[in-house]
Amino acid sequence: MTERTTEHTTITIERHFKAPLPRVFGAWAVAENKRQWFACHGDWTPLEFQLDFRPGGSESNRVASTDGVIHAYQGRYIDIVPNERIIYAFDMMLDDKRISVSLATVTFAPEPAGTTMLFTEQVVFLDGYGDNGSRLMGTEIGFDNLRLYVEADERRPN
């Protein structure tokens, strides 16, 4: 019998981008843009990506790791204020096992040199899943990719 457990934690990451606020927000809001940065492992195989960016809309992303494990992300957008905030809920699965459920809030603010983004994720890890900091690490890698995307010379393709 599987032991049922819950372990709660909060992840907060603040980033400053040398890019205008509409470009940073657009990196989240437009499927073609988000697909270019929303990954934490470049050697994994993409299987599915879908983005319906609106309140009530959904997002899904499935990839296969180098050892064949399917990592699946399924989100639902709850609140969107263009160029100000995004609130969404999502779960993560490894193959057919749900490992976590989260509520995430992303806020954006202009600053003289670009944009400040604050990401807060309230996560519950399920049934003994030992994260050992990998969620934080993967999210930070994704935001490093976001920086590369939004700070790229806009005249060149990304």
3-state secondary structure 49-62: EEECCCCCCEEEEE
Q: Residue 62: pLDDT above 60?
A: yes
Measured distance CA(67)–CA(49) in Å, rounded: 20
* pLDDT for res 46: 87
Measured distance CA(33)–CA(24) in Å, rounded: 10
CB contact at 8 A, 39 and 63: yes
CB contact at 8 A, 79 and 87: yes
* pLDDT for res 79: 98
Judge: domain 6-38+79-150, CATH 3.30.530.20: yes
Mean pLDDT of the chain: 92
| Reported confidence tier of residue 154, pLDDT bands at 50, 70, 90 | low
Mean pLDDT of all residues in 134-147: 92
Q: Which of 10, 14, 16, 73 is nearest to 40 (CA)?
A: 73
* pLDDT for res 158: 42
Q: Residue 80: pLDDT above 50?
A: yes
CB contact at 8 A, 49 and 37: no
Q: Residue 93: pLDDT above 50?
A: yes
The model's pLDDT over 12-57, given as tens digits with 9 standing for 90+, comes to 999 999 999 999 999 999 999 999 898 767 778 889 999 999 999 9
What percent of the chain shows pLDDT beyond 70? Answer: 94
Helices (runs of H) and strands (runs of E) counted in the chain: 3, 7
Measured distance CA(132)–CA(109) in Å, rounded: 31
